Structure 1
Amino acid sequence: MALNLNDLGIFVQAVEHGSFAAAGRRLGMPKSTISKRVAELEAMLGARLIHRTSRSFSLTDVGRDFFEHARASIIEAENAETIVRTRLGEPSGTVRLTTSVPTAQFTLAPLLDRLAARYPKLLLSLHVTDRFVDIVQEGFDIAIRSHQQPLPDSALVQRRMAAHDFYIVAAPSYLDRYGRPEKPADLAGHNAIVANAAETSWRLLAADGTLQRALVNPVMAADEPFVLLRAASSGIGITVLPTSVCATAVIDGTLERVLPEWTAGQITTTILMPHRRGQLPAVRAVVDFLLEHADAQSGVLNSLANA
């Protein structure tokens, strides 16, 4: 009896996700169906592939070797399908993407209409959360993460999407009323809207590489960039925000840069993918689209910084 490619796919999903339950969630199947199909595969092969108990799930030695070849077979089958789909037309299918609330609000939301227009046969399933997501275990194709420190090494493919400076900003109405700081030390005499109530200073960087710690006087704290943006726009005080969040407000005049020769750090946005998923045409199409628009946005931000 020939091997069933669908059963190979189910086996690979079970191994990659670490359990029948997780594979079932990814495939939209009951856990019992996954377990039964893997058991039938083992019976057909005449070999135990997975050691499983109520508490553990691990490959046997032969299961480990079989998994490597099975995964390669699935990739080749998907690549074969890709060739046909590419010749027939645009990418299609579902791409599961997870990211944080700020990234979804300020980076992805403005692009969704253009993505839908470019790839009408593609369904983007967007999961927005600020908790850490294990994209392999939870079955995601893409994760977008913003970080100030380098991401740890992993088996995931990483593509740098953008880097955004933190600007010091305030509403023109606030600055008209209380004056415009001329040097970092002047910030101590102003109302500051901070990300953490314990925050009493900002680390500032000048264009020439000079670092300076500036004391600030917090009057409000919020750990959500949208709240900081709204608070600053309403004239409560001065805050620091990444350009991905505040650029539009600066361009339209809602906010004004304070100490424009200084920035308050930088945040990097990175696309992560499981290696196998990153080879699929729909996933590649989404990633390429995001990188293309990140480059366009960087051009706008560079113009803003030099204005």
Structure 2
Amino acid sequence: MQTLPPMLNLNDLRFFVMAVTHGGFAAAGRALGVPKSTVSKRVAELEQALQARLLYRSSRSFTLTDAGRDFYEHARASLIEAEAAQEAVQRRVAEPSGTVRITASVPTAQQYLAVHLPALARAYPRLHVQLEVSDRMVDLVQEGFDIAVRSHFAPLPDSGLVQRPLAVEAIVLVAAPSYLAARGVPAAPGHLTGHDGLLTGVAAGTWRLSGPDGARMEVAPVPRMTVNESVVLLGAAMAGLGIVPLPQELCRAAVASGQLVRVLPDWTAGSVTTTLLMPARRGQLPGVRATVDFLVNCLQPAEPAGSAGQ
């Protein structure tokens, strides 16, 4: 079996190239921040390893031998390639890449992620985001998810997961202009008891409202429709079926376009919090960390307009 010659020390090549480039050991030492003797010694060790003279040097001259000239061209090219290789790895490490698995409920995905994930993909082209939209409570650790984005009315239980708040928004009362034209505009919370209500669940028949100066009131509208999905309730409200409490962001576009109108604009029906959760160890991965930072930046936490529960 043939024995391979020992590899040259890449640092010795750098000392040699710098000496040739700067025209002497003293100038190379100044450029490298080392004594002239260090450069001279390393070049001598390189010549010994190669068993060839690379330089003619004296007190007055510093020139390359024929072998030294050939070696210089290859050594300089090798250093350029080594620097390029290092930069390539550094760029790969610095640029988030790989797969990031996210789970979110249908309303959360529609309201938040649908808007921001395309910008995330453009910012990090080497990142592959996998979003599973589901209203079931996913076990992040057991099912291998990196991130969950959940909207909730009550504080989340302590699960050992890292929790990062993304947004807190008020729940407002809205209705279609056609409904209000037919049934009248409530002037006070007590007037809601005679109005049709679009409810989020059987247990949500009573609305707990917060108003100016900390005022609180409970009202029970006439149940007109009960749906446990906010986008369907939004459509029912725009169809003129009744008054509905919805997260402010969810109905912002409909209010801006005039399809819906705020009812009792000084009152809110609680707030909804959107939280990002992840296993602690997953947050150390560059791709996951970049995704978390991106979402937190897009959805800065804000103080809720109302604090009453629903």
- Identify the TM-score tier after normalising by the shorter chain: 0.5 to 0.7
> Secondary structure of the residue that 1:143 maps to in structure 2?
strand
SS state at 1:140 partner: coil
Give the distance between the partners of 2:212 and 2:95, measured in 1 at CA. 44
2:136 to 127, 131, 136: 131
Task: From the superposition, tell whether residues 274 and 86 of structure 1 become closer, same or farther in structure 2 (CA, over 3 Å).
Answer: farther
2:201 paired residue number: 196
Give the direction of change, closer, same or farther, for the CA distance of 1:254–1:85 in structure 2 (3 Å limit): farther
The number of aligned residues is: 219
User: Please, what TM-score do these two structures have when normalized by structure 2?
Assistant: 0.66
The question of whether the paired residues in 2 share the 8 Å contact of 1:107 and 1:244 is answered with no
Q: 1:106 pairs with 98, 103, 111, which one?
A: 111
Note closer, same or farther for the CA distance 1:146–1:198 as it changes in structure 2 (3 Å cut).
closer
Match of 2:231? 226
Residue aligning to 2:299:
294
How many Å apart are 1:140 and its aligned residue?
A: 0.6
Percent identical residues: 53
1:174 is aligned to 2:179: yes
Q: Which amino acid aligns with 1:237?
A: G
| Conserved? CA contact 1:201–1:215, under 8 Å | yes
1:101 aligned partner, one-letter code:
V
Using the alignment, how far apart are the partners of 1:129 and 1:250 within structure 2? 27
Q: CA RMSD of the aligned region, Å?
A: 2.3
Give, in whole Å, the separation in 1 of the partners of 2:90 and 2:172. Answer: 45
1:142 touches 1:272 (CA, 8 Å); kept in 2?
Answer: yes
Q: Secondary structure, in 3 states, of the residue corresponding to 1:263?
A: coil
- Unpaired runs of 5+ in structure 2? 1-87, 306-310
Between the aligned partners of 1:263 and 1:124, the Cα distance in structure 2 is 36
1:150 aligns with 2:155: yes
| Deviation (angstroms), 1:88 | 5.9
How far apart are residue 87 of structure 1 and its match? 6.3
Point out the structure with max Rg over C-alpha: 2
Deviations 1:219-266 (A, max 9, x none): 111110010000001111100001232122222222111000000011
Q: Is it true that 1:252 corresponds to 2:250 in the alignment?
A: no
Question: What TM-score do you get using the length of structure 1 for normalisation?
Answer: 0.67
Give the counterpart letter for 2:200 in structure 1.
Answer: A
> Displacement of 1:93 after TM fit?
0.9
Deviations 1:87-110 (A, max 9, x none): 665211110001111101111112
* Cα offsets for 1:12-59 (capped at 9, x unmatched): xxxxxxxxxxxxxxxxxxxxxxxxxxxxxxxxxxxxxxxxxxxxxxxx
For residue 121 of structure 2, what is the amino acid of its counterpart?
A
Cα offset, 1:151, TM superposition: 1.3
1:86, CA displacement in angstroms?
A: 5.1
Q: 1:239 aligns with which of 225, 231, 244?
A: 244
2-structure distance, mates of 1:198, 1:152: 21
**Any gaps of 5 or more consecutive residues in structure 1?**
1-82, 303-307
**Cα distance change on mapping 1:86 and 1:149 into 2, 3 Å:** farther
